[in-house]
Amino acid sequence: MDSEAVKEVERLIDLKENRKLRKKRKRRKAIFIKLWKGMLTGIVGAVAMFVIVLLSLMAPEVTLRAYNGCAILIVIRVFGTWLDKPRRKK
């Protein structure tokens, strides 16, 4: 093998290694994004629960509006999660 062929093989090996590293980074990034979304959802849920409990003690009719608002937000969140799912390529 001449030096050009050796360089070509080394370049192909480097490309494969870089592709593997990109996949690892992408997977790691996706995991952190899912964790971040989960944490934010939990925090928002805890705050909403706290506010709803306080509202139910003060004014029951306002609590019903708060429940409706939370239900709408949950539907939007679930629908957004469904849209975020990766599609299978045919």
The full set of domain ranges for the chain reads: 3-84
Angle at 78 between CA 42 and CA 27, to 5 degrees: 75
CA–CA separation, 52 vs 47, rounded Å? 9
CB atoms inside a 10 Å sphere around CB 17: 10
Dmax of the chain from CA atoms?
A: 84
pTM over 0.75: no
pLDDT tens track, the chain, 90 positions: 678 877 887 787 887 888 888 888 888 888 888 888 888 888 887 887 787 777 777 777 777 777 788 788 888 878 877 777 666 665
